[in-house]
Structure formats: structure tokens, C-alpha cells
Amino acid sequence: MSKIKEEFNKWFSDLDIKYFKAHEFTNYFERNLNTFPPKSKWKNMVATIKLIDRLRADIGMPIRLTSSYRSKAYNDNCGGAPKSLHKEFNAIDLQVDGLKPSYIYAR
């Protein structure tokens, strides 16, 4: 395991998140043109991680994370918005099988 991945896993475990594991946020960081987010941006995701953990408890169904941090190169390659908050590690795309996005948004 790379040093940055070990550090991220430790950082994540300190957040005391019940329903998610660090690898759910990092499973695509090292594919294609993407990278791990710089450590200076990790704090940007704390409130969002805690929010989706509460959402998971509220809806009682698994949540699948489909995107979190995107490097500039990866964001450009996948057609992301130039000012995407994913580049700041401040956005998550997610899916819940069987629920419409409007239901999740209303929660």
C-alpha cells in the first residue's frame, strides 16, 4: 500500500464514520489520469462525508459513491465542469439503487 493511501486510511478512520470505509472514496483515485487528493484538501470533504453517513442511516439503504476527488487531468478527461468542486475534494456523486435522486435530494 502506498504511503499516501495509508495516511488517508488513518485520517479517514479518525473521522469515526459508521457506514463507509476509506476505500469507497479512493477506489478510483489511482486509475486513468486521477490521483489521490493533496492532503491540504482532505479537510474539504469532512462535512460531506459526515452528511452522507447520516443520510445512509436515515434511508437505511446502501449508498454507492461514484465520484469524489478528481485531479484536473481526470476531470478534463471525463468531461467535468471546469470549476467542479470535485477538484477541491468537496463534492461526491452517489447512487442509491431503487431511489430516485429527487427523493435523496429532499432528505
Specify the pLDDT at position 103. 81
**Do residues 91 and 68 lie in contact, with contact meaning Cβ atoms separated by under 8 Å?**
yes
Check whether 42 has a pLDDT greater than 80. Answer: yes
Hey, which residues does 94 pair with through a beta bridge? Answer: 65
Q: Which of 29-43, 66-80, 93-107 is most confident?
A: 66-80
Reported pTM:
0.86
Q: Which three cell numbers stand for residue 19?
A: 457506514
State the distance between the two ends of the chain, measured CA to CA, in whole angstroms: 37
Specify the pLDDT at position 105. 79
Looking at beta carbons, which pairs linking 97-105 to residues 24 or more positions away fall under 8 Å? Answer: 97/61, 97/62, 97/64, 98/61, 99/59, 99/61, 104/55, 104/59
Check whether 2 has a pLDDT greater than 90. Answer: no
